[in-house]
Structure 1
Amino acid sequence: MTRHKKFKKMQLPKAFTGAKEFILQRVAGMIVLVVFIIFSWVLITAFLERSDYFMLRSVEARGAPEISLISIRSDLLRHYKGNNIFKINLTAIAKSLELRHPDAKDIIVNRALPDKLLVELNFRSPVAILSNGLSFPIDREGVILVSRDPARLGGLPVIKGVNPKYAGKLHKKNESKNLEAALKLLDEIKKARFLDKYGVRTLDASDIKSLSFDLGEDGPMIIIGYENLKERLSVLRDTLRDPRLVLDKINYIDIRFKDAAISPK
């Protein structure tokens, strides 16, 4: 007769058994935690979206003339009052306000818990008038301010020789290097300070290499170009300090070179 061998049942070491139980406990704990998080999220979302506590009741707007702020507040409340603030499309509101306020550089709409919207408008400031038959107020970035009346902006320098179609408008950036150079020159003139007593009324940016401005009301033309503006303005400052200089008898001063070239009338 054939004898059958008896095999003993293999037993895992106690260390492996303990590790298995530990892993199962951790997995079970993770599952419970995930279920708890999902359940909590559902409850919180339902509370935020359905509770009357978060229904829109007021709008705060700032950064524009009071008449515009009143209009913004009344319009938003008329359309959204009583709506849950988490369901209100803030991006759509900002875009609609951009159409009504094209000269605003930034329009930011935020929620203020529990029941308010905050609207912040940041408007562009005119720094010069772009003139090419018609007059267009522009800001430091060369963007035309379509809502500003140039007739009410007396005292701003006038930039000539640039086609307005290349200037910025609404969301379109300035594409004119000549206009960019003229605005950069205005910045450097403002920093230099010594030209404040003369005043800069007109800049000619038709040829960027011969970028120029008029010194005062009836003063000479200053040809400066578009490079090394700070250094060239220093040359002009030293030139104007010469007591022998009679501005009324000078046609132009060219400061594009190391030594200023002065042309009499």
Structure 2
Amino acid sequence: MLKKNYKKNKFISRPNKGRKFTYSAKTYSNPFFESKRNKRAKSNVPSIPLKIKLIFFAVLSVIVLVVWFLVYSSYFSIKTIEARGGGRISPNEIHDLAWSQINDSDFVLWPQKNIFLFNKNELIETLNLKYSFNDIIVNKKLPDKLIIQYNEKDYSMVWYEKELYYYIDENGYVVSKIGEKSEEKNYPVYKNVTENFIEGNHVAINKNLIGEALDLIEKFKVYNDFEIDFFEARESDNIIYVKIKEGPYLYIDIYGDTEKQLNKIIKLKGILEEDFFKRQYIDVTIGDSVYYK
């Protein structure tokens, strides 16, 4: 008789000395659920209606077309320039300077030929550098016309320097160039013997000297024995040098009493008589004294 021996299984729990369990703060997500979550989030963002988009692009297109029409179309390109003023300056010279500014514009995006973008102040500055005006106005007449109105300054004197003659006004601005010769007898001559020459369109002299010269011309009209030949510009800003025709230079202080100084000259002439015209100069600028040579 066979005996079956059964061994009872005994389960003994033993600690696992070889394994260690660690914990991480990282979180892991399932890509499938993540994509679904993103889709749900995007579906919650409000979309811009197609109608709004169409309106926006329509308005933008209109703005672009308007800008193009106003700035770049030939409709508002300057085609006519009118110069109003007459006088000594030829209108063609005014036209040439204006067209030069229009055609020489370096700004492609902001062309000077456009009536709206044309720089009036730049043209006025250019004209004032070349000519002398009492006033000058540049107007724009839509759609394509410039009107330049100007009033020239009158001649006051003839200025001479570096073998060239110029007409100047009472403030010392050059009105126009005469050239190497001048037969002008209606205006007094001011000769520059300094090394300070015309800069821009202005002579290098104290404008008060020019004003005093013009006053002396009127005052000398009462003296039949005196005739002014010319004035001479030297380094002094307060002494005017008057050359008497076939006579001496007169030194007069423009900030002193002019009448008093002229009276001293008249008294000296009475004393010297014809010898007066043989003198080299007569200086009445210092107090009550008279110096002559």
TM-score (norm 1): 0.54
Map 1:83-232 to 2 at 5 A: 85-94=115-124, 97=127, 102-105=130-133, 108-112=137-141, 116-123=145-152, 125=155, 127-131=157-161, 134-137=163-166, 139=168, 140-143=170-173, 147-149=177-179, 151-152=181-182, 154-155=184-185, 156-163=188-195, 166-170=196-200, 174-176=203-205, 180=207, 182-190=209-217, 192=219, 194=221, 198-206=226-234, 208=236, 211-215=240-244, 217-228=245-256, 231-232=257-258
Q: For 2:197 and 2:240, how far apart are their aligned partners in 1?
A: 17
Residue 189 of structure 1 aligns to a residue whose secondary structure is helix
Q: Which amino acid aligns with 1:248?
A: E
Q: 1:227, CA displacement in angstroms?
A: 2.8
Q: For 1:66 and 1:175, how far apart are their aligned partners in 2?
A: 24
Identity %: 18
Q: 1:186, CA displacement in angstroms?
A: 0.8
Residue 86 of structure 1 aligns to a residue whose secondary structure is coil
Task: Answer with 249-258 or 69-78: which moved more.
Answer: 69-78
In the alignment, structure 2 segments of 5+ residues that lack a partner are 1-62, 104-112
Do the aligned residues in 1 keep the contact of 2:132 with 2:173 (CA within 8 Å)? no
Q: For 2:132 and 2:250, how far apart are their aligned partners in 1?
A: 34
In the alignment, structure 1 segments of 5+ residues that lack a partner are 1-41
Do the aligned residues in 2 keep the contact of 1:110 with 1:117 (CA within 8 Å)? yes
Residue 250 of structure 2 aligns to a residue whose secondary structure is strand
Residue 178 of structure 2 aligns to a residue whose secondary structure is coil
Q: Which amino acid aligns with 1:227?
A: Y
Q: Does 1:240 align with 2:266?
A: yes
TM-score (norm 2): 0.50
Distance 1:235 1:170, change over 3 A: closer
Q: For 2:126 and 2:269, how far apart are their aligned partners in 1?
A: 59
Distance 1:70 1:149, change over 3 A: same
Distance 1:206 1:74, change over 3 A: closer
Q: 1:259, CA displacement in angstroms?
A: 3.7
Distance 1:200 1:75, change over 3 A: closer
Q: Does 1:69 align with 2:91?
A: yes
Q: How many residues align?
A: 209
Q: Write the deviation string for residues 185-222 of structure 1: whole angstroms up to 9, x where unpaired.
A: 3133145354675332223443527642122x213332
The match for 1:59 among 81, 84, 95 is 81
Q: 1:145, CA displacement in angstroms?
A: 5.8
Q: For 2:175 and 2:77, how far apart are their aligned partners in 1?
A: 37
Distance 1:205 1:104, change over 3 A: closer
Q: For 2:137 and 2:283, how far apart are their aligned partners in 1?
A: 47
Do the aligned residues in 2 keep the contact of 1:157 with 1:200 (CA within 8 Å)? no
